[in-house]
Chains A and B, each alone.
Chain A
Amino acid sequence: MPNGFLLNKKTYVALNLDHHAMEERAAKAKSTRTIGGVSFLASAILILAGAALFVYQNGFTTVPEIAAFFRPSFALMLFSVGALVACFSFMHQSEITRHLVFIPKRDRNSIPPELVALETPPKDAIDIIQFFHPNAMKALDSAFVLAERFGHAHVEPIHLFVGAMEDDAASILFGRLGLSFEKIKDPMSRRLSTRQLGTLSGLDDAAEHVLLFAFRNAYLEDRDNVTALEMFFEAFKADPFLADLFQEQGVDAVQFENMVDWIRIHEKIQDQYKRFQKAAASKPTGAMNRSMTSVATPILDAFSEDLTTDAVFGRLPMMIGREEEIEQVFRVIEGGRESALLVGPHGVGKGSVLAGIAALMVEERVPDVLKDKRLVKISIPQLVSGVPVETAQERLMLMLDEVSRSRNIILALMDLEQLTADLAPLLSDYLSRGATFAIATTSPQDYTETIERSMLGRIFQKVSVEEPDEKSAIRILESKIGGIEYQKKVIFQYDAVEKCVKLSDRYMHEQYLPKKAIEIAREVAEQVVKSRGENGKVTGEDVAKIIATKTGIPVTNVAEDEKMKLLHLEDEMHGRIIGQDEAVKAVASALRRARADLRPGSRPIASFLFLGSTGVGKTELAKTLAATYFGSEQMMIRVDMSEYQDIRSMDKLIGAPGSNQGGLFSEAVRTRPFAVVLLDELEKADLNILNVFLQILDDGRVTDAAGRVIDFTNTIIIATSNAGTQYIQDAVSRGESTDAIKTHLLEEELRTIYRPEFLNRFDGVIVFKPLEESQIVEITKLMIAQVTKRLEGKGIGFQVTDAEVLELAHKGFDPKFGARPLRRVVQEEVDNAIANALLEGKVQRRDTIVLDVGGVMSIQKGQEL
């Protein structure tokens, strides 16, 4: 049963798709092309030859008499035949043009058509094949050739896919996705060899659907024709094998679709540009409108920028997306003759909306009240800077006077909140009289703070400009890439575009899409052109590298040597942490999960509660973590929870209500969102403070007193607690297992201090066992190694005998305080002795200090140079 679409009460179907009809169609097309070409060529040759012969026969110098034209001659006969053939050629071309059909234009509000099954297509059904662009016909033809060559019974989506692959758009798609034909050739031919053999009859149902949906896409995209690209895309969607094949090459269906979108956007921009150029030719630049009713506006010109003129000269970017917002602005202006205020965070594209409106004004595709007008952007800082209030007011009044006399100006005001309290009433009074409109922009925060309840709030109608979602942001960035590529002379792969949006969205929370992604793209392009020269390819890895250097978070793909490092993370961490196997393992696993990108995006990277007595390595492990994951020990925000013992300290945490400022803690995280957050001695904090952390652990964010959302999704949160220390020590000495200790701690000891739901929020509650004397020896060695390293810088060697190490360890061991006393012992016995020796001048470069039992120090003299 055939299928089709119903558009404006007409049925659109794919007719005559059997092999014979296709052949007829192609033969007909070829004959038409041949006749056109030959007749044009023949007429040109005949006319030129006739004219040349005529001139030759009548002499070059003299103007022929009228009579010469009436003298029968071969030259003039040739000429006449040429003219006749020219008439024929003209008719032939005109008929081709006259019979060109375009896909009907879609009503913006109509719902996308659904495929309907038809018993028999109605007599007046329209054949969609006539809307196919020559490149699509060529692809269709190639599909038939392919099926015929393999002896297949039907043309299937895969044939159409291969057929369309010869098209330029497909090559661009492959290039941008970083794929090569070579890699998919073999699986593709294996797939082709499994198709049903037989006499080629025509398209099977799936392939027919591909054509119909390609038509539907072109209709929804407002295209005139169905291009090979649409066929390519629909064929891809129709055959699951192709999705599998591309997935194996690292391209999923969403990426494929976004890439198709990119090519569509590119074509759309080209169309838009051509149309715009045509329109721009007749749009006046400068103060005067076409009807010459406006007046010169010298004062306004001094403090403003004419956006319509900028658009005419191509100084403004082409706009993609945001049609919805522009439509809303037009409705506001048309409906109530009011001014519009675009409200959105910085970087979401309010300026682009203004540029888009300016471009539409150039094309005069605007409501009548905006026709033959210019959009003038007033610079508020220029207006007010360096002069007393009275002068600024005077300037504004003169400017507004010029605007009303000129009558062809629409005002644009970026960042309306900059207008001071002295100037705002002037503007609102002026606009309320209805002399002209203004389109202004502001941020949501400024809107609520300064504009909403002021005079201006009543004059302006709010139009929200939201941050685009990931897909729209990718589309917007795709529309900008052409410009960046041209400017920087590099080539972006799709992966790079996607990563610009995804990674900036994930790691740069203080800025907004699409601006932050566009900035990253520019930066990466700059970097690539520096390192690889012109025409270098920008890949996703390049983007990841830039993000990694900006944030300190390793976001690049895991390289081979790093793989080994990650798999042996425990060993490396044990280089700094002695014992505490369970803790090290838990932390290392969390890091591996984070690095393999398996963590949920809406919570902190990891969160742990470290339990154990002082000096057992809790803080040391946190430091190690900061160094391993964020690249430096300094990437740690340390918060002493004993400073948050009552509810009033909430102000210090997230800021005092009404102060419009963040707290010490929230500000620290806001400015350094990529760090280990170490909450020391958690048990000392007030219960209400812990409730705030409950939310942070759960949602990965908290709102400060200034209304800013502080992002914790890129932090690792570690809380340490001494609660239950006595129990742990007793239990360990009784020889209880770690699991048993933990269970008892959670069920008994900690219940009085933390609520169970709070403890549950941590990824892991880890018990640090008290240190044993043998471990203290190891730690002593570590500390001595640190001293050795410090002395190496001075060119002095340092050795400690094993006996002395044991003695130091013994002196520094205290089951209650772990390794903490040891640090003091090393300081007193080792560091002090060395310091004295250095000051007394006993030690020179190249000497080696040897420390023996009882702190006896001897110096081995180094060789003289």
Chain B
Amino acid sequence: MKSSSSSLVLKHLLLDLVREILFLPVWWFTIGLAQMVLWCGHSVKHAAETTGLTIWAKNLFVPMYGETSVSGKLISFFVRLIMVIARGVATFVWMFVVVGVFIAYLLLLPLAILGIFYHGLGMVFV
């Protein structure tokens, strides 16, 4: 921005920086955490949609390929059951990944701070 003087920018820069640094730990475990939970939820839901889990579960008792005979219905039910399980497993695997990311999030900030102190002080005193 040409019309804003650099001193004005500097003032904002310093103020923002200080404010945000102080805010970080609080944010991480409040607003940030809430957002993370939301993201995890969306992610799992999206996985379920991609694998078609909900649609398969909904149609568990609907015969496949328009086969309405008793044997057709029976076969269809079991095939659908297997498909629901298989797709459920896939969704589950993805859920594990998501949970992993969530745990990593929880640990990242404390570990980083701990690491700085541990290694920093360790180098000084050892």
Q: Does B bind A? A: yes
Alpha-carbon distance between A517 and B44 when the two chains are bound, in angstroms: 49
A23 (CB) vs chain B CBs: closest residue: B4
CB distance from B121 to the nearest CB of A (A): 8
**Contact call B116/A84, Cβ cutoff below 8 A:** yes
Q: Is B92 an interface residue (CB 8 A)?
A: no
Q: When the two chains form the complex, which single residue of A31, A87, A296, A372 contacts B108, counting CB atoms closer than 8 Å?
A: A87
Could you tell me if A88 and B13 are in contact, using CB atoms closer than 8 angstroms?
no
Chain B residue nearest to A19 in the complex (CB)? B3
Which single member of A27, A31, A87, A282 contacts B112 (CB below 8 Å)? Answer: A87
A384 to B21, alpha carbons, bound, how many Å? 76
Contacts A77-B120, A88-B24, A292-B59 given; 13 further ones with Cβ under 8 A? A24-B4, A71-B122, A80-B111, A84-B113, A88-B21, A90-B32, A91-B27, A95-B27, A145-B2, A282-B50, A291-B55, A292-B64, A372-B55
A-B contact pairs, 8 of them (CB 8 A): A27-B8, A30-B1, A30-B4, A31-B16, A72-B123, A77-B119, A91-B28, A406-B66
Tell me the A residues contacting B by CB distance below 8 Å.
22-24, 26-32, 34-35, 71-74, 76-77, 79-81, 83-84, 86-88, 90-92, 94-95, 98, 141, 144-145, 148, 282, 290-296, 372, 405-407
List, in ascending order, chain B residues with CB within 8 A of A81's CB.
112, 116
Residue of A nearest to B35 (CB): A94
- Compute how far the CA of A90 lies from the CA of B121 in the bound complex, rounded to whole angstroms: 26
Q: Known contacts A27-B9, A291-B58: does B3 contact A148 (CB below 8 Å)?
A: yes
A81-B116, A84-B112, A91-B32 in contact; A31/B65 too (CB < 8 A)?
A: no
A35 B65 Cβ-Cβ under 8 A: no
Report the interface size for chain B: residues with CB under 8 A from the other chain. Answer: 48
Counting CB contacts under 8 A, is B12 at the interface?
yes
Which residues of chain A are near B27, meaning CB under 8 Å?
Answer: 91, 95
Contacts A27-B11, A27-B12, A282-B49; is A87 near B115 (CB within 8 Å)?
Answer: no
Looking at the assembled complex, report how far the CB atom of A202 sits from the nearest CB atom of chain B, in whole angstroms. 12
Residues 22 to 59 of chain B near chain A (Cβ within 8 Å): 23-24, 27-28, 31-32, 35, 49-50, 52, 55-56, 58-59
What is the bound-complex CA distance between A407 and B64, given in angstroms? 11
Q: State in angstroms the CA–CA spacing of A86 and B9 once bound together.
A: 23
Residue numbers in A under 8 Å from B5 (CB-CB)? 23, 27
Q: Does B101 have its Cβ within 8 Å of any Cβ on chain A?
A: no
Whether B99 sits at the interface, judged by CB under 8 Å, is no
- The reply on B85 being an interface residue by CB < 8 A is no
A145 to B58, CA, bound (A): 61
Using known A-B contacts A88-B20, A293-B62, determine if residue A77 contacts B8 with beta carbons closer than 8 Å. no
Measured between beta carbons, the chain A residues less than 8 angstroms from B55 are 290-291, 372
Check B126 for interface membership: any CB of A closer than 8 A.
yes
Q: Can you name the residue of chain B whose Cβ is closest to the Cβ of A137?
A: B1
Closest to A292 in B: B64
A74 touches B109 (CB 8 A): no
* Beta-carbon nearest neighbor of A291 in chain B: B59
**Is B17 in contact with chain A by the CB < 8 A criterion?**
yes
CA distance A79 to B112 in the complex (A): 8
CA distance A34 to B13 in the complex (A): 8
Once the chains bind, are B65 and A292 in contact (CB under 8 Å)? yes
Q: A72-B122, A81-B116 are in contact. Are A295 and B4 (CB under 8 A)?
A: no
Point out the residues of chain B lying under 8 angstroms from A86, CB to CB: 108, 112
Central interface residue in B16, B49, B66, by most chain A CB within 10 Å? B66
CB–CB B3/A23 < 8 A: yes
> Does B78 count as interface, using CB distance less than 8 angstroms?
no
